[in-house]
Amino acid sequence: MTKNFVEELRWRGMLHDVMPGTEEQLNKERTSGYIGFDPTADSLHIGHLAQIMTLLNFQKAGHKPYALVGGATGMVGDPSGKSQERNLLSEDVLTHNVACVKQQLEKFLDFSGDNAAEMVNNYDWFKDFKFLDFIRDVGKHITVNYMMAKDSVQKRLESGLSFTEFTYQLVQGYDFYWLNAHKGCKLQMGGSDQWGNIVTGTELIRRKSGGDAFALTTKLITKADGTKFGKTEGGNVWLDPKKTSPYTFYQYWLNTSDEDAANFIKIFTQLTREEIEALLAEHATAPHLRKLQHVLAKDITTRVHSVEEFDKAVQATNILFGNATTDELKSIDERTLLELFAGVPQTTISKAALETCANVTELLSVATNSLVFASKGDARKMIQAGGVSINKAKVADPNHAVAFDLLQGKYLLAQKGKKNYYLIVVE
């Protein structure tokens, strides 16, 4: 072992609960451990990142990580932390989702080498497990009283809990038993809301086979302002670039508060304790430079996407907030362009109307229905004062011909002053 895994989680502020004997087991020998991931979508989101980073730290400490995707449990539904029963998914959809999740985990975990990560799907051992065999071989070892005492069950009794959801802890418990018996897996990890399900697994192993089994949970991630971590106005922040663009992903981390950044940089990066302490000290001397946020955003965006996508996100940010050039503006793709200027005033004009505009003064007033300027006089005055740009290029002459290259073949970006942008869509 290269480092103490439990201590690593502790100083990073991630550790919540650990079963007695777990730390001794991990310090004694290389141990196999797993975390379950719910494959009800074809992408993970940043709400999963704490568990992914837990597995990464586990592997870096010299242990063998298993990522279990719940192909079977995804058809059932975990009541933990849920106020209502969720939709059940078909086998085809789950198979697709599992493949997508594996691809994303490979960006974090090493699936080769001595302590290579492995991905397992509980559908593989549940698909031929008959109901009568399950209640005989598994159900008889755990009492109803034991199951009823779990918080996840108690919280749902008033609103109603289906038998399907009630049996979930037995199903998850059997996952741990199967991995313990077939893969020598001795540790299950998860978020703090999973403690009840995890210890059901340790209990099943103890009663059914007498094997060694341990449990560890991490803290649920919260934001200092009380809002939900991983959520934006548009919903989840996904790891899939088709669902959340690298630019939006980067901006999420860049815009974290100082308090959150100091917490997140320990959880979501692999920077050492010394590096983080030095960063915190540097940030404290000049918080306006937002050094913590920049390092955090670069680290996690690069890992999830790539260096190239990170560079594009920085470039896009510079276009919006810095002194970008026309060439930089032309280089960004249409999706990023529209995301950058999603909140700015927009208008649409025909290509014919654009071509018949006498000059830029007319374009920015009459032709665009007074979107940028109320009158030609206002437009002329500000252009002469040097306060107008088209596609990030300063326009100095009010009689400048309307001969601009369209961005992505259909857009013009007008800028009035430093902060006022207007998007003109040419159709």
From 193, 202, 198, select the one nearest 156 (Cα to Cα).
193
Catalytic residue among 22, 172, 202, 336: 172
Query: Is 168 annotated as contributing to ligand binding?
Result: yes
User: Hey, what are 324's tokens?
Assistant: 């970008």
> Is residue 64 flagged as an active site residue?
no
> Is residue 16 flagged as an active site residue?
no
Catalytic residue among 16, 17, 25, 86: 86
> Is residue 200 flagged as an active site residue?
no
Phi-psi region of 187 (alpha: psi -120 to 50; beta: other; left: phi over 0): beta
User: Hey, what are 182's tokens?
Assistant: 């077939």
> Is residue 206 flagged as an active site residue?
no
From 392, 278, 376, 272, select the one nearest 329 (Cα to Cα).
392
CA atoms within 13 A on the CB side of 262: 12
Query: Is 34 annotated as contributing to ligand binding?
Result: yes
> Is residue 228 flagged as an active site residue?
yes
Query: Is 231 annotated as contributing to ligand binding?
Result: yes
Which residues are paired to 15 by β-bridges?
Answer: 218
> Is residue 193 flagged as an active site residue?
yes
Please give the C-alpha separations between residue 194 and each of 17, 148, 152, in angstroms, as whole numbers: 11, 15, 9
Distance CA 32, CA 86 (A): 31
> Is residue 231 flagged as an active site residue?
yes
The H or E element that residue 177 is part of is helix 168-183
In the block, residue with structure tokens 């997140």? 264
Catalytic residue among 17, 38, 137, 193: 193
3-state secondary structure of 187: strand
Contact 388, 417 (CB under 8 A): no
Contact 58, 15 (CB under 8 A): no
Distance CA 204, CA 174 (A): 7
CA atoms within 13 A on the CB side of 258: 13
From 352, 416, 344, select the one nearest 380 (Cα to Cα).
416
Amino acid at 300: I
- Length of the chain equals 427
Chain centroid offset of residue 400 CA: 46
Other CB atoms within 10 A of residue 86 CB: 14
Query: Is 250 annotated as contributing to ligand binding?
Result: no
> Is residue 172 flagged as an active site residue?
yes
The H or E element that residue 131 is part of is helix 131-137
> Is residue 40 flagged as an active site residue?
yes
Distance CA 9, CA 54 (A): 8
Amino acid at 251: Q
Catalytic residue among 22, 42, 45, 256: 45
Sequence-ordered list of residues with C-beta below 8 angstroms from that of 288, at least 6 positions apart, any chain:
none
Amino acid at 223: K
Catalytic residue among 31, 40, 200, 301: 40
Specify binding-site residues for ATP: 231
Catalytic residues: 40, 45, 48, 82, 86, 172, 193, 228, 231-232
Annotated binding site: 34, 168, 172, 231
> Which positions make up the binding site for L-tyrosine?
34, 168, 172
